[in-house]
Each structure stands twice: as structure tokens, then as C-alpha cells.
Amino acid sequence: MKKFFISFVFLIITGMNFNVHAALTGIKTIPGDYPTISAAIADLNFQGVGSGGVIFNVSAGHTETASNLTISITANQPTSSNTVIFQKNGGGTNPLITAAPGISASYDGIIKFSGADYITFDAIDLVDPVSNTGNAVMEWGYALMRASTTDGSQHNVIKNCVITLQKISSLSYGIYIINRDTNGTVVAASDVNGLNSYNKLYGNVISNVYKGIVAISSSTVRDIDNEIGVNGQTANSITNWGGSTVSAEGIRCEGQINVKINNNIVSGGNGTANAVYGIIATLFGATASAPNYEISYNQVSVTVNSSSSATFGIRALATGDTVLLHHNTVENCNAAHSSSAFNGIVHDPTGVTNAAYIYNNIVRNNTLSGTGSCNLLVGSGTINYLIVHSNQVYGNQKTGASGIMNCIQTGTASLECDSNLVYNNSIPNSSGTSSSFIYGYINSSSSVREIVYGNTIYNLTVGGFNTSASSLVAGIRSNAASTSIKEYYGNQIYGLSGVSGSVTTGGVYGLYSSLSASTKIHENKIYDITNTGSTGTAGGCWVSSGSGIEIYNNFISEIKTPLSTNSNAVTGINLTSTTASSTIKVYYNSVYLSATGGATFGSSGISVTANATATTAALDMRNNIFINISTPGSTSGNTVAYRRSLANLANFSSSSDYNNFYAGSPSGNTLIFFDGTNGDQTLPQYQVRVSPRESNSKSVPVTFQNTVNGDLHLIGGSIGDINLLGSPVSGYSTDFDGNLRNASFPYKGADESTAFTLPTLNLTVNLEACSPMQDTVTVSIRNTINPFTIVESHKAYLSGTGSAAVSFANAVNGTSYYIVVNHRNSIATWSKSGGEIFTAGLLNYNFTTAAAQAYGNNMVLVSGKYSFYTGDVNQDEIVDAGDLSIIDNDAVAGLSGYNNSDLNCDSFVDATDLSYCDNNATIGVSVSKP
């Protein structure tokens, strides 16, 4: 009996030891192996996990009531190969845990992970019933928590679960990753093992919570690589959240490193009387940073009906080394608060972000009804490098009486903003005396480098009856810093319209730039810019300040102010800069205006602020086309091609030339030039006023492809029109389309077209002493009327037979010209009296056939050819002792090679050259001219 008793006790003890160490493995069923999930968790905590892990198959339709189910495995803990899975089994509804009444006012959860790793809950639903009230209400559905400073919850997955709580408590969170233990005590991780890291939450449906998913780390050692939503998996759906006086968030990540917030559908916020965030990634305190994080492929819609605080679709507030914001959609948001802002997608770090990439996002169909600002896509704050690429911002409205709408806004970064589509955004109901502003792109910060290119911005509107003098609509608006390097190119801006009303002022501009160390504005297409105010202004391109301004290769047309009585209401290019020691280069632009206005309406192809200091906003203007055929006001106002604010020309560069100014038929109010006092109706009047500038400029109408839609490519008779011949400008070798310009004979304006067929002079000459004659000469054509001014001059290379073909862009068929040839050591020789005529673009002239071919018969016969006298070495128009002295000195010095004193071109300066010069000096050879 004693032996039996001892054996029985041994069996009990060994059996107990077996149960303690029999770690769970394989597949378990609920109900079956365990009656409830609660029982399974209790045994899991007790037994731990064995080799290969354990799967708990929970029957579809299973229900139970429980709360504060805590997974805390201290022995045989799960690993990457020994995982724990709770999953739905079979068809039908998901298993459901209904919350039993809670016991805490702040820290009740239905399922809690306490330092638990490698646990998956798949399609296990949670609900907090309305029967739970007061302290019995659940704060959390699933909560991932720390057991200690060295034991956090890691590598867990919660997916495909439906979580429904009660948002009567502002502490009700669907899924909570938190730096606390199950009792609510803050636990700061002391090492990476104490973090709540590497967790994945996706495919969950969370509703009727105050906050959907919240992940909060410690302020020092911080959670790593959590994923809130996973691309390629079913999205989390988070709805019906917020609604009280506490700030509300669909998703909040705080102090996380390398967090990914991807593939979530977030909708809610209604009734919240505080700040609302669809998604926010922020810091823990003010000093932490998140080296990398990503927010992508999310869909966000928030509705706020009672908040006076700001609303955000997505806010990336956390500082990061690399921040990725891409493929998100913020849409159908309604913010019905009075004075606070609505913000679509924003990265505005509190610290310094090294690089931020905001791309392929959509912000659309959102409405702000108050007067606060509406900021739709923002990369501001301190960012070293920012890319804003291929985003779409459209269909947004700010329906309040005033305020600002920034469609795309950037800040201090070295930035590139390209290939974005911004359209159909408006402030339709402006009223009263407060200002309304809408910008397709804006930067008002001290950006180091700002490159804005390839964007399409159209249909931006401020409507209503706003009487503010400062309201403004602009496709692109930059007010960076005096040290900024800026460039705007390849943008299309059109369909901008400003407010209407009987006393409305303000402006509508395609592109508006101020402040910079260098600004380049080129290859932009700006058209259909309208201000319907009675005293308003509209412009294609406005530069108000900055240094090193370059404006070139732009198309600007259809700028309109149909009701304005402003004397300079419409401007193609408006330069109001008074920046000291600065230059403005305006090259190769095409501007076409055909506006109408009120009784005193005026307009300008280009309008410039004059200055008595030559180096203040010094204007160099070449190769432009300014066509202004607008209708001047009925009682006053002028249609002007080129307007200056004062008569002073000091800051108008003497190199300005080869422009085409046209203002229609000359009259007292259709002017080539106007300075506020003096007006020039014709080009010759203007050229006299500004001489020596503009001597090669023209005034002819130009035919463009389609001015209504901004296509200012040349067509018809303007192709090949010699009046549109420009002059090469070094460094500007391509046109609006990137086509190479003719290196010698480019077109005026932004479009380079078919090469010109220029009037050509086929010239034959002979030089008295030079053999062979292969040498360079300068050929000029001059007017035949005193003072016989040079019309055009070119260098030409003589062939061995003395022939050369020279093209003259300014030669006019049927007009007489003197031909003058200058050679380095010959007497300058003029063609015969009366001049020569180009016929059908051609003139053949042979000096060698008769002495009479030269003015005053001033040639010598050499071997049957009349030849230019040699010996004028110093080019003072006479052969004399001065020339002899030069040759004598060079001969004594034994000079060889290419020298002016080598008259016979044998590469030596010697007695033969001296003899030629002496003979011609003796007979007194000199220039003969009219």
C-alpha cells in the first residue's frame, strides 16, 4: 500500500511537471480544445509555445464575452519560427469577443499584448457594447504594450479584424501601440528589446472610436519599423471617429522610427471641436526625430462641423532623414469652421528634415467654408531638400467671404516642384473688404534654391464681390529671399480669373516673382488671365524685385481686364523692380495682347519701372515680339507696346535692340512707346528717342498659330519675314520648344522657325598687291542719303578669285545702298555714285570690270582688273608717311606671318611692300566717297 501510494504521488508530480512544460504546438480548435479564446490565452500564457508554433482555429460565428485578455508569455516564448496565430476557421461571420465591463477609467482593453512577440490575430472581431457605461467602457480594442523596459511587443500582426468601440470616451482607440504596461504605467524602453517594434496592422475595419490607430513610442529609445497598413494587402478602414472637444485622429504615430503608414482608408472627424487629423506622424516631445518614414496609398476624408481649430487630411510633422509622402488621396473633406485652416497633405517638420519627397498625391473636391487659410499640398518648415512631383490638386473650394488658398506651398528647402497638375480650385463667394488670395504654387519663405518646372496650372478663380485692394490670384507666386536661386520654366498657366465688383482692385497674374540672387523665367506658356474688377490689373509675368533676372522664350497672350479703368490695367511683362545693382535680361519673348476695358483703360506689352541710376534694375531687352492691339479707353488711356514709368533712360541698356514693337495703326493713343509724358506713335520716332538703342528694331504685325489658347508659334507670312530677324545672344541657343536657333540669323520672339532667305550680295573685288587674295574683308551697305549711315555690316572671306557672298538681313528690295569694302591694308572703296539695288533678294556687283565701278573711279588697273589701292596700313583713309613708317619698322624687325604691313601677302614684310606703299603715297591715294 505504501509503495502504491508513493508511486501514485510520483505519477501526479511527474504529470504536473509534464503539464507545466508541455509548450503548445500544432493546431488547436476553439471551441474544441478550448471553450473560449480567453481560455486559450490563459493556457498559452501558462504553457508557452513549442516547436513549429501553434495555430488556434476559432470557429466562424463563435462569440464570447471578455475584457482585459492579456497575452503575457514568460516561458517558451514565441519566435520567428514558433509563432502564435488566432484565426477564423470556416465560412460565416468572424468570431466576436464582446467586451465585459471594464474595471479602469483609462486602461481597459479587450485584448492586450504585454511584451508579447510573434502573435497574429486574423479576423477576430471586437465590440464594446452600449451596455458598458462609465468606467466599464473599453479604452482599447487591441493594445500592444510593454511588460518591462526590456520586454516590448514585437513582430505581431493584427489583420482583418472588425473593431467597434464606444467613442463616448476620448480615450477609445481601435488599436493602440503604447509605451505603457497593462496597468497604464509609462515604461520607457531601455534597449531595443523593450520596444514595441516590427508590428503590422492591416485589413482591419475600425469604427465608432475616438481615435482609430495610435502608436506612441518613448522619447529616447523609440519603436522601429511598425507598419500601419501594408501595401499589397487589404486596407485598414477607419471610420466614424472623433466627435468631442479633444483633438481627434484617424491614425496617429508619435516618435516612431521608419514607420510606414500605407494603404489606409480614413474617414471621420465629424463633430470634433478641436484639431482633426486624418493621419498624423509627429514627434514625442519637441526634440525627437524619425530617421525615415513613409505615408503612402492612403485615402482620407474628414468632416468637421464645429471646430475652430485646424483640420488636416495628412500631416507629417515629424522630422526625418528621408520622408516619403506619395500616392495618397485626400478628398471630399468638409471643414465648416469659422476662422481656422484646412490643410490637405502637409509636411512641416518641427526640426530639420534632410530630404522629403512628396509625389503622386491627389487633393481634390475638398471644401472649407470659413475665412481661414486653405493649404492643400504643403512642404514647408526646415527641409534641406524637397521634391514635389506629379501631384494633382483640383476641385477644391473655399466658400468663405475671404482668406487664402494655397494649392501647392513650399518653404525654405532647396526644392524642385515639377509636373504637378493644379486646376479648378476657387474662392467663389468673396465679399466685403477683406482680401482673398489663391495661388497655384506659392513660396513665401527663404528658399535656398527653387526650381519650378513642367507644371500645369489652370482655372483658379476668386469670384463674388470683394472690394479689397490687395486681393490676388497667381498661377505661380514666389517671394523667397534675396539670396535665393530661382528658376521657373516649362509651366503652362491659364484660365486664371479675379474677383468682380463695382470697386474691385487687386491683381491676377500668371507668374509673380520677387526677391532673389538669380531668377530665370523661360519657356512658360501663360494665357487667358482675367481680372473682372473695375480698377483691377492683370499680367502675364510680373517681377517686382530681385537680382540677376532673366526672362526669355515665353509665350504670353490673352491678358484681360474687361471692366477696368486702370491706366495700365493689362501688361504682358511687368517689371517693377527697383533693386540696386541688378540686371534684367528680357530676350526672345512673344507677347500678344488684344484686351478691352473701361473708359480710361490702358495696356502695355511690356511695362518697366525707370530709374535714374543705370545699375538699378538695368534692362537689357533683345529679340522680343511685343504685339499690343488692345483697344484704349474711350476717354483716355493708351495702348502701348513698351511703357516706362519715367522719361529717364539711364537703366535702359544701350545693347537693347532687334525687338518688334507693334501697337496697331499709329495714333495718339496707340503707341510704340510711352513714358507717362512722351509718346511715340512710330518706330522712327521711338528710335530717335532711345538712340543708340533699338536701331535694328521693327514694327510689324505678326501672325501666330492661335492666340486664344496661347499658341504663339509663327505661321503664314510671319515665317521667313525678314522683319522678324533677330541677332544672336550668347547663351540663348534654343527656343520655346527646345529647338536650336540659327546661330547667325535667329528669329525674334520665342519661336524659331524656318531659316530666313536673306538678301544676298555676290561681290567680286581685286586687291592691288595681295596674292593670293584669300583674306578677310568687311562689307557694309550704307544709306545713299547723307549722312550715309551703315545699314548693316558683315565680315566676309574672299576666295582666291576675289569673290564673296554676303547676306544682309536689313536690305530691302528696291532700295538703293552704297557698297563699302574695307580690307586690312587697302583703301576703303565705295561703289559708284547713286547706289545699288537688291532685286528679288539678290545683288551682283563686280568692282573689277571698270574704274567707274568705284566711287570717284578710285581704283588701279592691275593685270586687266581694276583693283583696290594698297598701302593704308593704319586705316586712316590715306596712304602716307605714317603707313611707310610702319612698314619700314616692321621690315627692319624682320616680321613674318600674317601682318597688316605685308601688302603683297607673301608672309614677309620687306622692300617690296615698302615700294607699293611709297608709290601710292607719292600719288596721294586716299578714300573717295560721297
Average pLDDT, the chain: 93
Q: What are the angstrom distances between the C-alpha of 486 and each of 378, 443, 453? A: 19, 11, 11
In this structure, are 844 and 897 located in the same domain? no
Whether residue 61 lies inside any domain: the answer is yes
pLDDT of residue 5 exceeding 90, the answer is no
Question: Is 887:925 a contact under the CB 8 Å cutoff?
Answer: no
d(CA 850, CA 930): 19
CA nearest 477: which of 454, 450, 504, 497? 450
Other Cβ atoms closer than 10 A to 892: 9
pLDDT of residue 262 exceeding 50, the answer is yes
Whether residue 695 lies inside any domain: the answer is no
In this structure, are 40 and 69 located in the same domain? yes
Question: Is 44:71 a contact under the CB 8 Å cutoff?
Answer: yes
CA nearest 316: which of 298, 294, 299? 294
26-49: average pLDDT:
98
Q: In which residue are the cell numbers 532700295 written? A: 815
Cis peptide bond prior to 701, omega within 30° of 0: no
Question: Is 345:361 a contact under the CB 8 Å cutoff?
Answer: yes
Burial grade of 907 (CB within 10 A; 0-12, 13-18, 19 or more): exposed
Kindly report, residue by residue over 69-123, the tens digit of the pLDDT.
999 999 999 999 999 999 999 999 999 999 999 998 889 999 999 999 999 999 9
284-293: average pLDDT:
59
In this structure, are 857 and 892 located in the same domain? no
111-137: average pLDDT:
97
Give the chain's domain count.
3
With cut-offs at 50, 70 and 90, classify the pLDDT of residue 505. Answer: low
Task: Look up residue 770 and give its DSSP letter.
Answer: -
Phi first, then psi: give them for residue 921, nearest 5 degrees. -70, -35
According to the model, what pLDDT value does residue 909 have? Answer: 94
pLDDT of residue 314 exceeding 70, the answer is yes
Whether residue 726 lies inside any domain: the answer is no
Whether residue 56 lies inside any domain: the answer is yes
884-904: average pLDDT:
93
d(CA 520, CA 440): 19
According to the model, what pLDDT value does residue 464 have? Answer: 80
More confident residue, 20 or 407: 407
In this structure, are 180 and 209 located in the same domain? yes
Q: What percent of the chain has pLDDT over 90?
A: 83
In this structure, are 823 and 901 located in the same domain? no
Q: Which three cell numbers stand for residue 378?
A: 504643403
In this structure, are 120 and 205 located in the same domain? yes
Whether residue 782 lies inside any domain: the answer is yes
In this structure, are 802 and 903 located in the same domain? no
In this structure, are 106 and 180 located in the same domain? yes
Q: Which three cell numbers stand for residue 158?
A: 493584427
In this structure, are 89 and 201 located in the same domain? yes
Tell me which residue range forms the domain holding 886.
881-922
Domain CATH number, residue 842: 2.60.40
Whether residue 830 lies inside any domain: the answer is yes
Q: Which three cell numbers stand for residue 712?
A: 504663339
**Range 679-715 burial, b when 16+ CB lie within 10 A, else e:** bbbebebbbebbeebbebbbbbebebeebeebebbbe
Whether residue 334 lies inside any domain: the answer is no
660-685: average pLDDT:
97
Question: Is 786:920 a contact under the CB 8 Å cutoff?
Answer: no
d(CA 255, CA 283): 5
pLDDT of residue 15 exceeding 60, the answer is no
d(CA 723, CA 621): 17
* Number of residues in the chain: 930
Kindly report, residue by residue over 531-571, the tens digit of the pLDDT.
998 888 999 999 999 999 999 999 999 999 999 999 999 99
738-751: average pLDDT:
96
d(CA 656, CA 647): 16
d(CA 102, CA 148): 23
pLDDT of residue 306 exceeding 80, the answer is no
d(CA 151, CA 259): 20
User: Does an H or E element contain 760, and which?
Assistant: strand 760-764
Task: Give residue 629's Cα distance to chain centre.
Answer: 32
At residue 41, the 3 state secondary structure works out as helix
In this structure, are 852 and 888 located in the same domain? no
Strand boundaries in 501-602, DSSP class E: 507-514, 518-522, 525-530, 537-543, 549-552, 555-560, 570-575, 583-587, 590-593
pLDDT of residue 503 exceeding 70, the answer is no
Kindly report, residue by residue over 368-400, the tens digit of the pLDDT.
988 889 999 999 988 899 999 999 999 999 998
d(CA 498, CA 291): 43
In this structure, are 786 and 910 located in the same domain? no
pLDDT of residue 695 exceeding 90, the answer is yes
Whether residue 75 lies inside any domain: the answer is yes
In this structure, are 765 and 904 located in the same domain? no
- Give the global pTM: 0.88
Question: Is 97:70 a contact under the CB 8 Å cutoff?
Answer: no
d(CA 880, CA 290): 86
At residue 84, the 3 state secondary structure works out as strand
Q: Which three cell numbers stand for residue 229?
A: 497598413
- Average the pLDDT over each of 288-297, 541-550, 752-761 and give the range with the smallest value: 288-297
